[in-house]
Structure 1
Amino acid sequence: MIITRTPFRVSFFGGGTDYPGWFRDHGGAVLSTTINKFCYITCRRLPPFFEHKHRIVYSRIENVIHNSEIEHPAVRAILNWANIGDGLEIHHDGDLPARSGLGSSSAFTVGLVHALYSLRGHMTNKDSLAKDAIHIEQNVIGENVGSQDQIAAAYGGFNRIEFKKDGNFDVAPVVLPAARREELRDHLMLCFTGVSRIASDVAKSKIDNLKNRTTELSKMREMVDEGIHILQDTKHPIDEFGKLLDTSWRYKRSLSKQVSTPEIDQLYEEAQCAGATGGKILGAGGGGFLLLFAKPGKHAAIRERLKNLVHVPFNFEDAGSRVVLYQPNGL
């Protein structure tokens, strides 16, 4: 039995420039961190005593004989990509809801790919995990997704990720004094709007509009380095990071009418009235988690103002996808 643990991520700046349709012409960059909320994949070979060959357990349970019968699109695609012949039992558990803007789909892909390598006794590395997951999601499944989530899930940590025109990428850890890193964490809040959405659908509306948003996307990429400069130069008040998030959110909303909704706009306005400096809807948009930036002394008022939302405490995470149980013989 193999169990992998793969982190979810919070993206601050540069989202949208990680779509191949953008960075292959202009290059791209994002600033993001993984958090201590995880996707767990349990995988084992299934003994040949059952009527079914594969058993896949997530929000549903699938017992199937052929790969083609698997309804979970990522599982079906990954097993076909990996040329899996043996029967498998695969369980998925997540700390937070799927389709909520935290890169959960890519965490699932990275985690399952990692588990299959381990089940075969093969070591892999973060770079290969990220590239395999990007290929599977963009080319095998054919989803409208960018390339940042797979890299964040594989590598873990607080990183500046740069996307090259040739399709390659560089991952540079953002080095911060411990006190500044903690100060940033203390200013962040994560709130679930209660709305899950299909990220690929929202992303397609943005991808179709990329050529008409050159100014906005160029500005959003510049904010990656602006944000890093604010954090690393401690002469800058940390509130400047929050104000930059607010500016970035306004640019992001202009990328597509599906990024925000009147309900999300109302929630964001309520948070600002209660003391939030800035924030954004995470991921493609349309729902999911709302990230807010506010002085710690304002958090209680914001929680009270948004008392109908689920507030999720979190911390930063640095390990990336890991094998946390390795018993290939089931012993």
Structure 2
Amino acid sequence: MSFFGGGTDFPEFYLEHGGAVLSTSFNKYCYVNVRHLPRFFDYTSELVYSKIERVTDISKIEHPAIREAMKYLEMYELRLSYEGDLPARSGLGTSSSFSVGMLNAFYALKGKRVDKRTLADDAIYLERSLCAEAGGIQDQIAASFGGFNRINFGADGYRVNPVILQLERKKELNNRLMLFFTGFSRFSSDIQKEAQLSIETKINQLLEMLQLVDEAEKVLTTKSGLSEFGKLLDYTWKLKRNMSSKVSTEAIDLCYEKAKSAGAVGGKLLGAGGGGFLLFYVEPEYQNQVKEILKDFLYIPFEFEDEGTRVIYYAPESFDLEGVRQYSGRGDME
């Protein structure tokens, strides 16, 4: 859940100007279960996500992240299943959370425990290089490290700095944030490509969005009224809408204005844009009004979390690499 600085995590921007985002992980999860597939079947790997793939050749896997991750870490003969608390293509980093979780599971199956930076770096490499997907690098880092952080980007890489908040103030912020699912989904990479191409013409907006990270962090870590956080969300949303014609739609704009008319101080569409989840800052006395005026949209309660990716069940499996079944190009066993 990225509050401020989105777009400054593109290498095209931060390598020259520096970048930063203020973001948090929260208690909605994706679950990736991986084990080696017993050799009883006429296929060597079974992959279950929104569809089921059964293949005898890794290169024939349709899901790009699974295919490239299996090649990258030399994984063979797998049964992989995925399920998530949130829908895909919804602007909440679900694809990067999947990539990070899958890589974590692959390493664990090999009997390796790797640190969070390795997982973040591998997920960035997987999505941005191996799968050639457009976009920034904040989601992979947030999913790996977890917690409420300021992530700085520069020519020397990235640095994750936890934002130190008093427990009660953090709870107050959490209680003033409301999340609604618009019901619209889209492929963020399509929007990210346009945003990436427009970076050179949007430098001033991105620099202003970068400055808002400092202002928002100051609001949180001083005695400033939390409502200022909501006002800054409103301002960064106006800047973000001008980054690309695909960021918002008439329906999303109408939903946003309805929420403000009911008492929301500000908010923003999460992710690349075009659909997904709207986040609002709403003082407690106006939250019922906002729920009522947005009753056609699904309200999603949530809580901040601090752990990031983790292995829930750890049972490494020995695997005979030399015994990997070889198949011809036709998919027949040789």
* Preserved contact between residue 97 and residue 140 of structure 2 (Cα < 8 Å): yes
Moved more, 108-117 or 74-83: 74-83
**Amino acid across the alignment from 2:225:** P
Q: Does 1:13 align with 2:1?
A: no
Aligned position for 2:23: 32
Q: Does 1:271 align with 2:259?
A: yes
Q: Does 1:176 align with 2:165?
A: yes
Q: Give, in angstroms, the shift of residue 45 of structure 1.
A: 0.5
Supply the distance in 2 between the matched residues of 1:304 and 1:61 (Cα, whole angstroms). Answer: 39
Supply the distance in 1 between the matched residues of 2:15 and 2:130 (Cα, whole angstroms). Answer: 19
Q: Give, in angstroms, the shift of residue 83 of structure 1.
A: 1.9
Aligned position for 1:132: 122
Please tell me whether Structure 1 or Structure 2 has the larger radius of gyration of its CA atoms.
2
Write the deviation string for residues 56-87 of structure 1: whole angstroms up to 9, x where unpaired: 00111111111111111111111111122x30
**Amino acid across the alignment from 1:203:** Q
Q: Give, in angstroms, the shift of residue 328 of structure 1.
A: 2.3
Supply the distance in 2 between the matched residues of 1:145 and 1:70 (Cα, whole angstroms). Answer: 23
**Amino acid across the alignment from 1:322:** R
Supply the distance in 2 between the matched residues of 1:264 and 1:127 (Cα, whole angstroms). Answer: 35
Aligned position for 1:237: 225
Q: Give the gaps of 5 or more residues in structure 2.
A: 319-334
Percent identical residues: 49
* SS of alignment partner, residue 46 of structure 2: strand
Supply the distance in 2 between the matched residues of 1:208 and 1:261 (Cα, whole angstroms). Answer: 20
Supply the distance in 2 between the matched residues of 1:120 and 1:261 (Cα, whole angstroms). Answer: 45
Aligned position for 1:54: 45
- Residue 102 of structure 1: which of 92, 96, 100 is its match? 92
- Residue 72 of structure 1: which of 63, 80, 102 is its match? 63
Supply the distance in 2 between the matched residues of 1:28 and 1:230 (Cα, whole angstroms). Answer: 19
Aligned position for 1:187: 176
Supply the distance in 2 between the matched residues of 1:223 and 1:40 (Cα, whole angstroms). Answer: 34
**Amino acid across the alignment from 2:197:** D
Aligned position for 1:163: 153
- Residue 73 of structure 2: which of 71, 82, 86 is its match? 82
Q: Does 1:221 align with 2:223?
A: no
**Amino acid across the alignment from 2:302:** F
* SS of alignment partner, residue 27 of structure 2: strand
Supply the distance in 2 between the matched residues of 1:68 and 1:122 (Cα, whole angstroms). Answer: 25
User: Which structure has more strand as a fraction of its residues?
Assistant: 1
Q: Give, in angstroms, the shift of residue 327 of structure 1.
A: 1.9
TM-score (norm 1): 0.95
Tell me how many residue pairs correspond in the alignment: 318
- Residue 282 of structure 2: which of 289, 294, 299 is its match? 294
Supply the distance in 2 between the matched residues of 1:103 and 1:152 (Cα, whole angstroms). Answer: 9
Supply the distance in 2 between the matched residues of 1:196 and 1:18 (Cα, whole angstroms). Answer: 22
**Amino acid across the alignment from 1:240:** E
**Amino acid across the alignment from 1:163:** F
Alpha carbon RMSD of aligned pairs, Å?
A: 0.9
Q: Give, in angstroms, the shift of residue 99 of structure 1.
A: 0.5
- Residue 319 of structure 1: which of 300, 304, 307 is its match? 307
**Amino acid across the alignment from 1:11:** S
**Amino acid across the alignment from 2:231:** K
Supply the distance in 2 between the matched residues of 1:302 and 1:61 (Cα, whole angstroms). Answer: 40
Aligned position for 1:283: 271
Q: Give, in angstroms, the shift of residue 329 of structure 1.
A: 4.1
**Amino acid across the alignment from 1:214:** I
Aligned position for 2:295: 307
Aligned position for 1:151: 141
Aligned position for 1:260: 248
**Amino acid across the alignment from 2:268:** K
TM-score (norm 2): 0.94
Supply the distance in 2 between the matched residues of 1:282 and 1:221 (Cα, whole angstroms). Answer: 16
Aligned position for 1:6: none
Supply the distance in 1 between the matched residues of 2:100 and 2:293 (Cα, whole angstroms). Answer: 37
Q: Give the gaps of 5 or more residues in structure 1.
A: 1-9
* SS of alignment partner, residue 322 of structure 1: coil
Supply the distance in 1 between the matched residues of 2:109 and 2:272 (Cα, whole angstroms). Answer: 33
